[in-house]
Structure 1
């Protein structure tokens, strides 16, 4: 693969995240699809204003939510430090984000602050705890929404990727299963940035990295998931995470997307199949499915993520990142770039991060 293509895919992943975030700003968190269609029509295909009395009050079409705000903090830190620096990122959170929060949901950049960030604000600002003592049992995707930039930066270095994503995720979320699923998403993204597709072979690639001790997952079976035999020793590559199952999910979703006997039509109904709520175990299968089904069609992938309702913002960020990594920035429709507020600034961040991959 050429360096130009690698950088195009890296830029596509970052801009795909920003686009997904902004596209879902208006129709965010509609769990009643009749209400969603009443307010936005049968199909959302562009940036929209939030409706009065709903989430993100006062914001306008093309602006970012707080997830996008935090992602920019992560990008600036990665670029200026030439890699992940926990102390620098935490300083940016303390100095740039937390002064804008008050511990309530409807506040701060983007007009809404998630549960895990509110908890950390309380721990840092009110309880004066160190960053070594923060984190909660939130089972959501907020860590993915910022560590996706870490995955892009370390796309060629899985050990560093896993270590940095683990360390950063633990700042806000302490459940080891959530951490493992967050690391797995980053590992998937890194392969897409390298030029692999989200297909039925991607989990085998991830398991090979695990067996070579480059990803910190435990392996309890032989090759191709065959059962261990009497006398087999415990695998020497046992990792931090008890199970490799988070690495297997994407190939199952890709198989479902490719199987002509398994049809989710229209594709936005993936949110009904896998669930509309915020939890990571609803979000990841839907994002993997859409990114696999529309691996060469960024617009279809991200718009089906948005039109599924519920926590469509997280779904669109995760899907947009995976789809953008496969198509590259050069194949993302220009109208999505042009309609994004401060798109030149965001694209410069994406370009600078891509240039730092080594």
Structure 2
């Protein structure tokens, strides 16, 4: 890579990481309001910045601009990556055992960040209460919790898709073992890595991902030839056998990006993507909405994350994932300074992000 290319990659990597922290913190106050009338009544018709959680709601007692537990775990992952120079599973697990798990008691409304999610509670129970070894504490939660922390791994290995897929897979199955969830999480990481690399979230993204499947860089199984056509009879082309049974988790992005840019397909206002794709926590709601907003507002970080937040429901995951995707497209330079300055401990997070860049 040239010096200019390298500088651009570093900027996009920092943009992805800070975008995730910003999206997480923006949704801290208005998190998990499924009644949109209540959300508007308690906050405003349009939330445009950091807010303080209500005393009777999730994250009560926390301050505007602080990170939820998703942000806390993202930071823990980043710190491990920075200090070890890459993904070191033993170091990551040690940090959970020694620094993070002692702060939990197994209940939801407790722990750093104000709320402990399902997969983390399950891992804590198996690891701390039952004494099971790592590798036996994962559960079947169908949420984006692993994607929220492994996005840091995807950024670190953006220039090495095979290493990215391997590390994201291994980290994900520590806490979530459902095959579909793991496949969709790895696919999200692969997309984020491509955006950091310099690609665009557009109609061509899936073909680029599939090309990496063909070379064996991404561990997805496929028996099709180019453009998903059937192999010709007698063809010497061998099917690609991967960890994941089909490449479908890599194909939805192009369709969603095409829809986001098609003037005949309209979701207006864009925050209603949460109603179209679903407001709950599961991966099959969250990833499509994040892809849509990131493609629709590919060069507008502020609009992307604010529409993610104002869609209600599990807007924290939606805004965090969207912030990473759009941050990777616009770079740190494209994120409005007010979002950076309003983020709690932003100087330390910026410094940390600068230590975890692709190489």
- Shorter-chain TM-score category? over 0.9
**So what's the TM-score if we normalise by structure 2?**
0.98
Aligned to 2:290: 287
1:194 and 2:197 are equivalent in the alignment? yes
RMSD: 1.0
Check conservation: 2:223, 2:240, Cα contact below 8 A. no
How far off is 1:47 after superposition? 0.1
Q: Is the 8 A contact 2:70 2:149 kept in 1?
A: yes
Contact 1:218 1:238 (8 Å CA) reproduced: yes
The counterpart of 1:169, out of the listed 169, 172, 175, is 172
Contact residue 222 and residue 239 of structure 2 kept, 8 A? no
**Number of aligned pairs?**
356
Offset of residue 233 of structure 1: 6.4
1:217 aligns with 2:210: no
> Residue 102 in 1 paired to residue 105 in 2?
yes
Give the superposition deviation at 1:332.
Answer: 0.2
1:46 Cα deviation from its structure 2 partner: 0.1
The alignment status of 1:319 with 2:322, answered yes or no, reads yes
Contact 2:220 / 2:245 at 8 angstroms: preserved in 1? yes
Distance 1:9 1:246 in 2: 24
Shift of 1:339: 0.4
Deviations 1:219-250 (A, max 9, x none): 12121111234445683421110010110111
Q: Would you identify which runs of 4 or more consecutive aligned residues in structure 1 move more than 2 Å?
A: 227-237
CA contact (8 A) 1:13 1:323 kept: yes
Which secondary structure state, in structure 1, belongs to the residue aligned with residue 241 of structure 2? coil
Counterpart for residue 139 of structure 2: 136
Aligned to 2:115: 112
Quote how far apart the aligned CAs of 1:109 are: 0.5
Contact 1:201 1:251 in 2 (8 A): yes
| 2:58 equivalent in structure 1 | 55
Which residue is equivalent to 2:77? 74
Query: Are the counterparts in 2 of residues 219 and 235 from structure 1 also a CA contact under 8 Å?
Result: no
TM-score normalized with structure 1 length: 0.98
Question: Conserved in 1, the CA contact under 8 Å of 2:223 and 2:239?
Answer: no
Which is worse superposed, 214-223 or 57-66? 214-223
Mapped to 2, the partners of 1:194 and 1:168 lie a distance apart of 22
Aligned-partner SS, 2:191: helix
- Distance between the aligned counterparts of 2:97 and 2:234, measured in 1? 53
Match 1:45 to one of 45, 48, 56: 48
Selected match of 2:208 from 190, 198, 205: 205
Q: Which residue of 2 aligns with 1:36?
A: 39
Contiguous gaps of at least 5 residues in structure 1: none
Query: Helix, strand or coil: the match of 1:111?
Result: coil
Show the counterpart of 2:153: 150
Corresponding residue for residue 356 of structure 2:
353
CA distance in 1, matches of 2:293, 2:324: 11
